[in-house]
Structure 1
């Protein structure tokens, strides 16, 4: 298995995100929304699990392609590593452009843009279907002679570097830096939904690709972040699969077989001519930006922060190469993470079912992980900490459930 760059980089990513958060709170600049950040972190945990699974699926394919390579490059050579990095950065530009310019690409990529904020929590909100598309774009690097494991490791390293520009804290840098590097200013443009900024700045590390291929736009006006038809929910399933559902629906309802086939690779937003125009809520009301907010279950914020922090060690049981868990156990734990993010979204939207789902998720995760750690012969302190987390969480949920029973009745829409 290739080096798990994601697991190695996790402490750096967490430290950077925490540092930005503390700075923004101290400055009271409003760059962090509690609800958006919790939804992003829930999705981030799911995505880390997906990264490992996809890498394991793609590695055998890349290994098979090595037989057809036209050369053999020494992955330990500084010059070869530089060439590999530039190759990954170049192919990422085209993958990213594909993700914005085609229906199927946007279905895979749009969840990353669904948030209406821009900060380091947003950087972690990635699509669970995008990663497979991403890895499949890098096969030419194997054919030209780079080892499979080196390619996958460099792709992961490149992805970690892209975390850095997702911020509003860093202003424009000196022009000589802005001329070649994908700076935070350039990436703010990419995440903006202003008419001037749509489909611009696809670069990963070097902005020169956008300058070369006509997709560069300088930041000249204040950015409004998100997609033009926001999902208006925190639910990870809806966010990740809403556009896929639209494409499947169009493929089913059109009478043209040709349109069913080409729908997927047509420009983003294209629909068969025999289907009616789609009417969806935009991001403006009376010409002004309106961001989605929801009514939370009373007193739930402290619990969600506690769970967000304590979910990270559980995530490492799936993503870290030294995890004592077997493959099928990691799969089960990943499914529980999905239930976790769904329950969190429900709590943020005052869904009555969310506490029941969270209790089931906590019992499943705490009980199974404790059992698995004991069976794996892990240090007793690990299983003791897991059991302690389970006890604290269940007491907290019991109090929350009692509190919410006594709260004012929710509207029918919120209680659904």
Structure 2
């Protein structure tokens, strides 16, 4: 099987589309781009590429060795490619969902959500530290089923390419049938929002049907009804690249260091915003309190006047 990375070939297209969107934003939505923010996003993309070269070999080693224990010899049959693509996207849904619900994984994934702007350059905010989480384990079932690691990598590359174009405000809605099945800019704007209604929703990569199936779908409201606020619940407030990359690792390790022994592991594996003394809020708590204020629910044990976020809460 030849070595083929589809994202490498897509880079010129990414650059061209960013330039086109910049021109559109200049006349239609000047606030879509902020020069310093865009530079940080570009640096994220470059650093992520370097990190992949440095640490990607470990994942390859794991998958190649696991492939020796495969249940079936699927090979590279034509029909295996679309099946692998769909299953890889299902895998992406769950690893993405875990990335929002397990703080150890969130410390890596938060990088992608740290911009308060939503444009095509935001898609380049890819993690430098993904190799230090256990996200690769989510792909092992595909390897053990018999899908070759190269096939999984290529399908994952096309999945990443698809997700690039949905990071834009230039496209409001796609046709209804498309919105029902596929991930779109409208659906993904919800995912990047910090509004309580939208927190931890729409984890899809390519197919939004996974969110509809597993109860995490939320439709975007009109801008007039509810303008979207992008970023993380407690915004970075800085364009420092290294702080942008590592701030949640610093916060998490600090919490583990200060926590009583019986709670240390929880700060690693519980959801972002969890605290042993109740001093902070998770996304579920924020949403529940918001729903109570809207008269849509009556959650128990959620203080009505608690601040939106604690000192290191990110969502």
TM over 0.5: yes
1:70 partner SS? coil
How many angstroms apart in 2 are the aligned matches of 1:211 and 1:166? 20
Can you list the C-alpha shifts for 1:238-274, whole angstroms capped at 9, x where unaligned?
Answer: 1121111111112111222x3222321112211233x
Is the alpha carbon distance of 1:112 and 1:193 closer, same or farther for their aligned partners in structure 2, counting shifts above 3 Å?
Answer: same
> Normalized per residue, which structure has more helix?
1
CA distance in 2, matches of 1:46, 1:267: 26
Equivalent position of 2:93 in the other structure: 93
TM, length-normalised to structure 2? 0.82
1:40 positional shift: 0.9
State the Cα distance separating 1:111 from its structure 2 match.
1.2
Q: Secondary structure at the match of 2:188?
A: helix
Aligned match of 1:262 in 266, 278, 303? Answer: 266
Q: Aligned partners of 1:28 and 1:142: how far apart in 2?
A: 44
User: 92-101 vs 128-137, which deviates more?
Assistant: 128-137
Give the number of the structure whose alpha-carbon radius of gyration is greater. Answer: 1
> Could you tell me which residue of structure 1 aligns to residue 237 of structure 2?
232
Task: Tell me, in whole angstroms, the C-alpha distance in 1 between the residues paired with 2:161 and 2:229.
Answer: 24
For 2:217, the equivalent position in structure 1 comes to 216
Counterpart of 2:279 in structure 1 is 277
Note the 1:146-295 alignment, pairs <5 A.
146-220=147-221, 221-256=226-261, 258-273=262-277, 277=279
Where does residue 9 of structure 2 map in the other structure? 8
Q: Give 1:6-405 correspondences, 5 Å limit.
A: 6-75=7-76, 77-130=77-130, 133=133, 134-220=135-221, 221-256=226-261, 258-273=262-277, 277=279
Paired with 1:52 and 1:132, the residues of 2 have a C-alpha distance of 14
**Does the CA-based 8 Å contact 2:204-2:211 persist in structure 1?**
yes
Provide the C-alpha distance between the structure 2 equivalents of 1:28 and 1:116, rounded to a whole number of angstroms.
15
Contact 1:66 1:148 in 2 (8 A): yes
TM-superposition CA deviations, 1:319-359 (whole Å, max 9, x none): xxxxxxxxxxxxxxxxxxxxxxxxxxxxxxxxxxxxxxxxx
Counterpart secondary structure, 1:138: helix
CA distance in 2, matches of 1:71, 1:150: 15
Q: Larger relative contact order (C-alpha < 8 A, sep ≥ 6)?
A: 2
Deviation track 1:336-387 (CA, whole Å, cap 9, x = no partner) reads xxxxxxxxxxxxxxxxxxxxxxxxxxxxxxxxxxxxxxxxxxxxxxxxxxxx
CA contact (8 A) 2:274 2:280 kept: no
The two structures have a TM-score, normalised by structure 1, of: 0.63
The aligned length equals 275
Residues 259 and 183 of structure 1: is their aligned pair in 2 closer, same or farther, counting only changes over 3 Å? Answer: same
CA distance in 1, matches of 2:256, 2:177: 48
In 2, Cα distance between the equivalents of 1:171 and 1:195? 21
In structure 2, distance between residues paired with 1:103 and 1:132: 13
Paired with 2:279 and 2:85, the residues of 1 have a C-alpha distance of: 43
| Aligned residue number for residue 297 of structure 2 | none
Q: For residues 132 and 81 of structure 2, what CA distance do their matches in structure 1 show?
A: 23
Which blocks of at least 5 consecutive residues in structure 2 are unaligned? 282-315
RMSD of equivalent CA atoms? 1.9
**2:309 counterpart residue number:** none
In structure 2, C-alpha distance between the alignment counterparts of 1:172 and 1:16, rounded to whole Å? 18
Maintained 8 Å contact 1:102/1:266:
yes
1:297 counterpart residue number: none
Cα 1:2–1:131 change in 2 (3 A) is: farther
State the 1:131 CA deviation. Answer: 5.5
Name the residue aligned to 1:303.
none
